[in-house]
Chains A and B, each alone.
Chain A
Amino acid sequence: MTLNLIVWRQKGPNAPGKFETYTAKGITEHHSFLEMLDVVNEDLIKSGKEPIQFDHDCREGICGMCSQVINGMPHGGQERTTVCQLHMRKFKDGDTIYIEPWRATAFPLVRDLVVDREALDKIVQAGGYTSCHTGGVADGNAILIPKPAADEAMDAAECIGCGACVAGCPNSAAMLFTGAKVSQLAILPQGKAEAAERVTNMVNAMKDCGFGNCTNHYECQAACPKGINVKFIARMNREYLKSLF
């Protein structure tokens, strides 16, 4: 197929940005979205132009590195799919596709489609851990965890930290991301001791990083490639309220 791409190009955070139009030729339904961009980039390089810069690494939907808004939707809007796992069979010959970076104050643009998501690391650094030391911990089976709790913690732990929830949110809130981490550790006995301190610190870090607040649009859940449920935001709010008493 042949596709018409309209891509956001911007040299750096302070440089002016604009949409450029490119044609992707010879694309098959088996190409992944990023492989389609590889083809376009090869053409650009050959004609002496600078290729489109975009973040990616695993190309398996697990590292959370890829980050593109496609036709207005983070990761392209296919349910539970990252850009790297989006395949061209979802598009038709002759389609026009808009490609943009994540946009949020807390995610400054680096170049083209690449943004800086260090703010998500800052939130985790504020308390997204159990303060255990290396070595000197109890036997793994000394802490019994009922299967439903282990499963629910795992549901929350599936977050890949991509930031699509932020990009999809009209308020640029990072509450789905933070809620997932807070919940994972709050559900497990190991995380309980520090639960109150953790949620306070992580919520404060969200504010400090410049993320907005949740006003229940559910866009985050719709954008999330891992199907993280908004119930974890509710759980975080509950943990936060609990921490006040």
Chain B
Amino acid sequence: MILDGKCPTGPIEKTWDKHRFDLKLVNPANKRKYSIIMVGTGLAGGAAAASLGELGYNVMAFCYQDSPRRAHSIAAQGGINAAKNYPNDGDSIYRLFYDTIKGGDFRAREADVWRLAQVSNNIIDQCVAQGVPFARDYAGYLDNRSFGGAQVSRTFFARGQTGQQLLLGAYSALSRQIKLGTVKMYNRREMLDLVVVDGVAKGITCRNLVTGELESYAADAVCLATGGYVNVFYLSTNAMGCSVTANWKAHKKGAFFANPCYTQIHPTCIPQAGDYQSKLTLMSESLRNDGRCWVPKKKEDCGKHPNEVAEEDRDYYLERKYPSFGNLAPRDIASRAAKEQCDDGRGVGPGGRGVYLDFSTSIKRVGADTIKERYGNLFEMYEKITDEDAYKRPMRMYPAPHYSMGGLWVDYNLMSNIPGLFVLGEANFSVHGANRLGASALMQGLADGYFVIPNTIAGYLATVKPTNGQTDNPEFKKSVEDVQSAQKKLLGINGKKTVSEFMRELGGLMWENCGMARSKESLETNLKKIPALREEFWKNVKVTGTGTEFNQDLENAGRTADFLEFAELMCRDALHRNESCGGHFRVEYQDEGEAQRDDANYCYVGAWEFKGDNKEPELHKEPLKFENVHLAVRSYK
């Protein structure tokens, strides 16, 4: 099947404005007759729930944490992009659009990316109005810094806590609507199924994580803003609760999963220290503004204290390989370059899996105080985890799974192929292509939430009759029964291995064989091992407690079960794409270490349709057209 992204045509600069004008409206008096389910209250979901509530719709918002303010978005450190050109360094909407398309290795839709660049400026204004304390200069103007993949300073930031401040902005707008009664907030609820009635999304089944009760909710549209799935690698920079569950359950109900193999490996994370470790900690990419990456030129220097390695014996490999972008090369490139150095035996720290990120040159240039003001909390965090002082000794870094560019397939209106099911933020596949540039996920979440969905959802709602929250359709009951029986099964196995053991094993397979570098062979290995592991899981997992109580072991078991199914799809997608692009690096397709894309055969979005348990999914394609940015080899040299 050839998928249609329903992108508006005509001059790219006019696409969003024209589309907005063409969309149907719901008149204000009718809005309150419609209800919308928003699963997730991160940047995308929080912003959307607040904005839709404000417009007059009845919104029900859900999150698995105890408060919407704790969504994973809160962890974003570095910043958010916008094409304001405040620093007068030549930025424009067009340039942001161009950088994003190129950065994504020509695997994103032009119209969607244009819209993102266009509304980026409104996002900053919106957040300032909410009281987000962005960094300012002494004259009182907003301050900017740079991020990987761009040669202009377009990143707005709030110390090293940009995501937190943006989320608190959205959360405060959401809180206002909760108080006004337009949004009803359901904390500690996990969506465990999508309810589809006659092919249309009409509701969800949730587990109340406190009581264990299964609850049905019905609405006229369901939005998923449930974040990303890189916890499939077990160790990642994501929060512990991040899962693929909501997306996967929707996928099993018919929603296409697009580009699952595109995952971002972030170049600057604190290297893993032991086997007990539960997560990896990211150090913001903005550090690469002032930190220089190097490894010793000679293998025998790797064990030395870094300050004892002479200047001429250091290999500043990014500056050497990519002179025009240097330390600000995009993430996929910087990650692979770091891995290359370590594979070459010149890595530092435990197991040789680390490179240095060195601030000494900048400290000499601008002083330790300035560096402290820019990144102080990151240095503190680094010290807590490693017990090392990065003002005195370079940080050690290694790439780690960080972000999912793939997600549920959506059209230009953010609607999936299931009518009434919308997908926002990291949960959809839309704007990053095969690689996300720094500081653009926050931008996407807020663009989708504040400025896209409030427009596009009206176009859909105007065509349907309000359901009045009725959950009496038999599909609701069936969905609850299905969830219940899956839980009963999990609780009844009473095997020998814990949920974490399975998750660690799966993560190991994924990192080894479907991580920073993949090959036909490694992926085929996984396609054999994952089903076997899944089978073992359903025979040998041990889940304690009961379903009718607060039970974190059961929560984890459910998420792991979904990862075990999803992982196979991810490998399948990686296997079918015989090319290297962005975060998808197939070792067979490279040219002197640089990724080799194959536009003749793979310039499309790959969207998978679920065909039943243990059946091969079907691939659908949405061809990508590049009319404004011409397909070219992506070079940062």
Contact = CB atoms under 8 A, between A and B. Distances in A.
A59 interface: yes
Interface in B172-187: 172-173, 175-176, 178-179, 185, 187
Contacts of A85: 381, 384-385
A121 B66 CA distance: 10
Interface string A16-53: 00000000000010111011001100101110111101
Interface string A41-85: 010111011110101111111111100000000000000110001
Nearest to B123: A140
A118 B500 contact: no
Given A64-B70, A154-B158, A51 B276 contact: no
A5 B392 CA distance: 36
Nearest to A54: B552
B136 A147 contact: yes
B276 A28 contact: yes
A6 interface: no
B570 to A, nearest CB: 23
B278 A63 contact: no
For A45, A144, A184, which residue has the most chain B Cβ atoms within 10 angstroms?
A45
Nearest to B69: A161
Nearest to A116: B66
B540 interface: no
- Interface of A (DSSP majority class): loop
Contacts of B158: 154, 157
Contacts of A55: 66
B137 interface: yes
B612 interface: no
A38 B131 contact: no
A13 B124 CA distance: 43
B161 A146 contact: no
Given A64-B69, A134-B54, A57 B239 contact: yes
A150 B128 contact: no
B276 A190 contact: no
Contacts of B384: 61, 81, 85, 87
Contact of A131 (B51, B140, B176): B176
B351 interface: no
B276 A35 contact: yes
A80 B66 contact: no
A89 B387 contact: yes
A58 to B, nearest CB: 5
A158 interface: yes
Contacts of A168: none
A28 B274 contact: yes
A153 B239 contact: no
A59 B235 CA distance: 12
A46 B125 contact: no
Given A57-B240, A116-B66, A134-B51, A141 B141 contact: yes
Interface in B301-355: none
Contacts, number: 219
A110 B550 contact: yes
A158 B162 CA distance: 10
Nearest to B73: A63
Nearest to B550: A111
B452 to A, nearest CB: 11
B131 A191 contact: yes
Contacts of A118: 66-67, 187
Contacts of B210: 110, 116
A55 B545 CA distance: 17
A243 interface: no
Interface string A93-112: 00000000000000000110
Contacts of B387: 87, 89
Contact of A60 (B75, B187, B241, B544): B75
Contacts of B522: none
B248 to A, nearest CB: 20
Given A62-B161, A150-B136, A130 B129 contact: yes
Contacts of A32: 278, 385
B276 A31 contact: yes
Interface residues of B, number: 81
A209 interface: no
A179 B545 CA distance: 41
A204 to B, nearest CB: 13
Interface residues of A, number: 77
Nearest to B51: A134
Contact of B140 (A31, A61, A121, A145): A145
A42 B125 contact: no
Nearest to B165: A157
B130 A124 contact: no
A64 B141 CA distance: 30
A167 to B, nearest CB: 15
B451 interface: yes
Nearest to B553: A51
A9 B361 CA distance: 52
A118 B175 CA distance: 12
A132 B498 CA distance: 48
B114 interface: no
A244 interface: no
A10 to B, nearest CB: 11
Contacts of A157: 133, 158, 165, 168
B628 interface: no
Contacts of A120: 67
A139 B69 contact: no
A65 B142 contact: no
B476 interface: no
For B128, B140, B274, B387, which residue has the most chain A Cβ atoms within 10 angstroms?
B128
B380 interface: yes
Contacts of B279: 59-60
Given A60-B75, A62-B74, A63-B65, A129 B130 contact: yes
Contacts of A42: 498, 500-501
A125 B178 contact: yes
A60 to B, nearest CB: 6
Contact of A58 (B51, B74, B86): B74
Contacts of A46: 496, 498, 542
A114 B54 contact: no
- 3 cross-chain pairs, A with B, having the tightest CB-CB distances, nearest first: A144-B140, A129-B172, A137-B129
20 contacts: A32-B385, A38-B278, A39-B276, A45-B553, A50-B553, A57-B239, A60-B282, A62-B164, A63-B74, A87-B385, A120-B67, A125-B176, A128-B175, A129-B173, A130-B172, A132-B173, A135-B122, A137-B128, A141-B142, A185-B131
Given A32-B278, A124-B171, 11 more contacts: A46-B542, A57-B240, A58-B72, A58-B75, A63-B65, A64-B74, A116-B210, A137-B128, A143-B128, A147-B137, A191-B131
